[in-house]
Amino acid sequence: MSLTPVLDADALAPGTAVRVMVADREVCVARTEDGQVHAVDDLCTHGEVSLAEGEVSGCTVECWLHGSAFDLTTGEPTSPPAFEPVEVFECVERDGRILVDVGES
């Protein structure tokens, strides 16, 4: 397990998300309005749609297709129709880069 650099920190504005590839996995990296960075599995558990294309609000990311929202810290759905959580990954901002660990060696 190791942190992998995925993008420059200034490429991710507050209140936005982006899809990145880490160890052959699609990951949604989001920055909340307060500047915290988070990483979750990019696919909505309801419709298998990219969460990075959705809206970041507070500490949630909302799927653009059916409106399911997921807590960025726990992965738990906060609104239907999704009822299964998304996987959460370690995500840090260090030396001007955002790094993610998807737990694969």
| Domain 13-96 indexed as CATH 3.40.720.10 | no
DSSP 8-state code for residue 59 = T
Whole-model pTM? 0.95
Per domain, the residue ranges of the chain are 13-96
Model pLDDT for residues 6-64, shown as the tens digit of each residue: 999 999 999 999 999 998 999 999 999 999 999 999 999 998 899 999 999 999 999 99
Dist CA 63 CA 53 (whole Å): 7
Residue 59 neighbours by CB under 8 Å, 6+ apart: 32, 36, 38, 71, 72, 73
